[in-house]
C-alpha cells in the first residue's frame, strides 16, 4: 500500500514538473486623469473625494510641526540643526 502511494506521488510530481510555466508582463495604467488615466474617471474621483470631507482643518487639529520648521529654517545658511526626540532643536557650537 505504501509502495503504491509513493509511486502515485512520484508520478504526480513528474506530471506537475513537466507542465511549462508561463507568465505575462504587468502593465500599469493610471486611474487619475491628471496623470494620464481615463478622463471618464474624473467625475467618480471628484465625488469620492467630496464624500470623504475636507479633512482636518488647520489649528488645534493640525500636527505639531515646530521641529520641522526649526530644521528647515537652517537650510541654506550653512548651520547644522540636530532635532532631539523631545521636540527641542539644538545648534552645535563646533563642527
The tens digit of pLDDT for each residue in 19-65 reads: 677 888 888 888 888 888 889 988 998 898 888 877 666 666 667 77
Domain that holds residue 72: 66-95
Kindly state whether residue 15 falls inside one of the protein's structural domains.
no
Kindly state whether residue 73 falls inside one of the protein's structural domains.
yes
Contact present, 41 and 32 (Cβ < 8 Å): yes
Beta bridge partners of 82: 90
Number of structural domains in the chain? 1
Q: Is the pTM of this model over 0.75?
A: no
- d(CA 46, CA 55) in angstroms, rounded, equals 15
Contacts of 81 (CB under 8 A, 6+ apart): 70, 71, 73, 74, 89, 90, 91
Kindly state whether residue 10 falls inside one of the protein's structural domains.
no
pLDDT digit string, tens, across residues 11-29: 777 776 666 778 888 888 8
Strands 89-90 and 82-83 come out as: antiparallel
Amino acid at each position: 500500500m505504501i509502495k503504491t502511494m509513493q509511486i502515485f506521488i512520484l508520478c504526480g510530481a513528474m506530471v506537475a514538473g513537466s507542465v511549462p510555466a508561463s507568465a505575462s508582463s504587468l502593465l500599469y495604467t493610471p486611474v487619475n486623469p491628471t496623470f494620464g488615466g481615463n478622463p471618464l474617471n474624473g467625475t467618480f474621483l471628484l465625488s469620492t473625494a467630496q464624500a470623504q470631507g475636507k479633512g482636518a482643518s488647520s489649528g488645534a487639529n493640525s500636527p505639531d510641526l515646530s521641529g520641522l520648521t526649526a530644521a528647515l529654517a537652517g537650510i541654506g545658511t550653512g548651520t547644522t540643526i540636530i532635532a532631539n526626540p523631545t521636540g527641542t532643536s539644538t545648534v552645535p557650537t563646533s563642527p
